[in-house]
Chain A
Amino acid sequence: MIIIKNLNKKYKKDELVLKDFNLNVKKNERVLVKGNSGVGKTTLLKCIAGLEDYDGEITVDGSLAYIFQENRFMPWLTIKQCLMLPLKMKNMDTKQYEDSIIKMCKDLEVYEHLDKYPEEVSGGQLQRLSLVQGLVIEPDYIIMDEPLKSVEGPLYTKLYQYILNWSKNNKVGLIYVTHEQVNEKDFDNIINMT
Chain B
Amino acid sequence: MKKQNILLIFFIFVLLVIWQFGDFSFIMSTPLDIIIFIFNFLQTKMFWINFFRTFFRVVVSCIIALVLGIILTLTKNTMVGFMYKFIYGTQFISAAVLTILFIVIFGLNPMIPIWVVTIVIIPNIYVATEIGLKNLRTDLVEFGKVYSNNKIKLFRYIILPQLVPYIMTGFIRAHAIAWKVIITAELFVVSKGLGYLLNNYFRLMQFDKLFGITIIIVCVGLVSDSIVRKIKKVYIRDYNKEFK
A: residues with CB less than 8 A from B are 46, 49-51, 64-66, 68, 70, 72, 74, 76-78, 80-81, 84-86, 88-90, 94, 137
Q: In the complex, which residues of chain A have a beta carbon less than 8 angstroms from the beta carbon of B149?
A: 50
Distance, CA A61 to CA B147, complexed state (A): 14
Question: Which A residues lie within 8 Å of B154 (CB)?
Answer: 89
Contact between B147 and A86, CB atoms less than 8 A apart? yes
Interface status of B144 (Cβ within 8 A of chain A): yes
Inter-subunit contact B146/A51 (CB<8 Å): yes
Nearest 3 pairs of A and B residues by beta carbon: A72-B143, A89-B147, A81-B243
Chain A to chain B contacts (Cβ below 8 Å), 12 pairs: A46-B142, A49-B146, A66-B146, A68-B143, A74-B140, A76-B161, A76-B162, A76-B240, A77-B243, A81-B244, A89-B153, A90-B147
A72 contacts B142, CB within 8 Å? yes
A72–B137 Cα gap in the complex (Å)?
10
One digit per residue, 1 when the CB lies within 8 angstroms of any chain A CB and 0 when it does not, for chain B 12-52 equals 00000000000000000000000000000000000000000
* 13 further contact pairs, Cβ within 8 A, besides A49-B146, A50-B145, A84-B243: A51-B146, A64-B146, A66-B143, A68-B142, A68-B143, A72-B139, A72-B140, A74-B140, A77-B240, A81-B240, A89-B144, A89-B154, A94-B243
Determine if B122 is an interface residue (Cβ-Cβ < 8 Å).
no
Determine if B239 and A89 form an interchain contact, defined as CB atoms under 8 angstroms apart: no
- Nearest CB to that of A50 among chain B residues? B145
Interface residues of B in 115-153 (CB under 8 A from A): 139-140, 142-150, 153
Q: Which chain A residue has the least Cβ–Cβ distance from B244? A: A81
- Chain B residues, CB < 8 A from A84: 243
Quick check: is B158 within 8 A (CB to CB) of the other chain? yes
**Docked CA distance A80–B240 (Å):** 11
Q: Are A51 and B145 in contact (CB under 8 A)?
A: yes
Q: Number of residues in B with C-beta < 8 Å to the partner?
A: 22
B157 in contact (CB, < 8 A):
yes
Contacts of B158 in A (CB 8 A): 74
CA distance A9 to B157 in the complex (A): 30
**Nearest chain-B residue to A85 (Cβ)?**
B157
* Cα-based distance from A72 to B158 in the complex (angstroms): 11
The reply to whether B146 and A65 contact each other, CB–CB distance below 8 Å, is yes
Complex Cα distance A50/B236, Å? Answer: 31
Contacts of A46 in B (CB 8 A): 142
B162 CB contacts on chain A under 8 angstroms: 76
B147 is contacted by which of A70, A76, A94, A137 (Cβ under 8 Å)?
A: A137
Tell me, rounded to whole Å, the shortest Cβ–Cβ distance linking B154 to chain A: 8
Q: Which residues of chain A are within 8 angstroms of B146 by Cβ–Cβ distance?
A: 49-51, 64-66
Complex: A65 Cα to B158 Cα, angstroms: 17
Q: State how many angstroms separate the Cβ of A182 from the closest Cβ of chain B.
A: 24
> Given A66-B146, A81-B240, is A89 in contact with B157 using a C-beta cutoff of 8 Å?
yes
Residue with the greatest number of chain B CB neighbours at <10 A, chosen from A46, A72, A80, A84: A72
